[in-house]
Amino acid sequence: MVSTRHGALCRRSVHTQTEYPLKNAAVQVTGCRECQSLFLPSAGGRDAACVRCEQVDDLIRMVAELKEEVERLRAIRECEREIDFWSNSLQGLKERYRGETPQMGVDTLPSRRRAEGGDLGAEEKWKQVPARHRRRCPPLPTPPSQVPLQNRFEALENERSTETEEEVESVPRRTPRVRRSTPHIRTASTKNERRVIVVGDSVLRGTEGPICRPDPTRREVCCLPGARVRDIAKKVKHLVRPTDYYPLLVFQAGSDEVAKRSPKAIKRDFRDLGRQLRGSGAQVVFASVLPIGGMEAERCAVRINSWLRDWCDRHNFGFFDHGKVYATPGLMAPDGMGLSRRGVRILGQELAGLIDRALN
């Protein structure tokens, strides 16, 4: 009995010893160097990358190879395009050369063709050929004796020509239209005291004092109420004398017609006036058109002044811009059809300052 119990205890203890290692057993894993993910180690025990990283490396390698192939194909395509371009250009030049070269049976480039075809052997030598004498042209045959010719209908032709001349003379002839040249203003080249002439429409009424007070004998204001630019062009040739030396002409025009006429007609009149003044030997200054006549006149004046500035620059005329000074309240008349007393005084002072700067 005692032995049996001892054997049972030994078996139980042995069983217990074999169970302990099973409970404490663990699985050994390692980490990837690239993505830091866990995976089972290989049989060899080497530290390798995971399958996912290997696939990514293969894909990157394939993409790099594809990029290299694409670059190579692009380079080949560019070379083919350049070759096609030069071949087409050479073909066009060849056709053009063939069209310009006279069609002759003689080869124009014998030496080149021999070199390309190999006609001239290595052992052969060039031979000197004596110059050929020019053939003399055979003398032209003597012309045959002239046969006298006679027209039986010569008398009838003379009668017809006489009748035609009479009909042409009976038709009234039109006199060609002669284009009238624009009269130009002439001034003297002898140095003398300069005259100042200010010409304009009704806005100049009352500006004589500020303008002419510094030198009444040499300054003149010509106010033409209601006058257009073309009326001023007719008047100015009577104001400038041939004995004047380098006079100063100031034009304040266009204000009376800016609300009545189109900008196109006013520009045409300014061009005619400029042709008359060009080459006259006078210093010409055009002042900007004042917007007198309401909102529509103001818009038209802005367009004309913008054109007038560029036109004066192109033709070496002076341009004086009033700006928006007369948009200030109190400078225009209550009805908007003229300047107030204060506006006239400011206009006179502006033109007087312009004259002083031009003379000095």
pLDDT of residue 44: 53
Q: 183: Cβ–Cβ under 8 A, 6 or more apart, which residues?
A: 237, 276
Domains of the chain: 18-87 (no CATH), 196-359 (3.40.50.1110)
Q: Residue 201: pLDDT above 80?
A: yes
* Chain-centroid distance, C-alpha 22: 94
pLDDT of residue 360: 80
Whole-model pTM? 0.49
H-assigned helices in the chain: 2-23, 51-100, 110-117, 154-170, 208-212, 229-239, 263-277, 295-314, 341-359
Cα-Cα-Cα-Cα torsion 80, 83, 85, 89, nearest 10 degrees, comes to -160
pLDDT of residue 137: 57
- The DSSP call for residue 188 is B
- The residue whose two tokens read 């194909």 is 73
Range of 2-16, 110-124, 263-277 with top mean pLDDT: 263-277
Q: 305: Cβ–Cβ under 8 A, 6 or more apart, which residues?
A: 288, 289, 321
Percent of the chain with pLDDT over 70: 61
Across the chain, mean pLDDT equals 75
Over residues 302-310, mean pLDDT: 94
Q: Residue 272: pLDDT above 80?
A: yes
Q: State how far the Cα of 163 lies from the Cα of 142, in Å rounded to an integer.
A: 43
Per residue in 132-142, pLDDT tens?
555 555 566 55
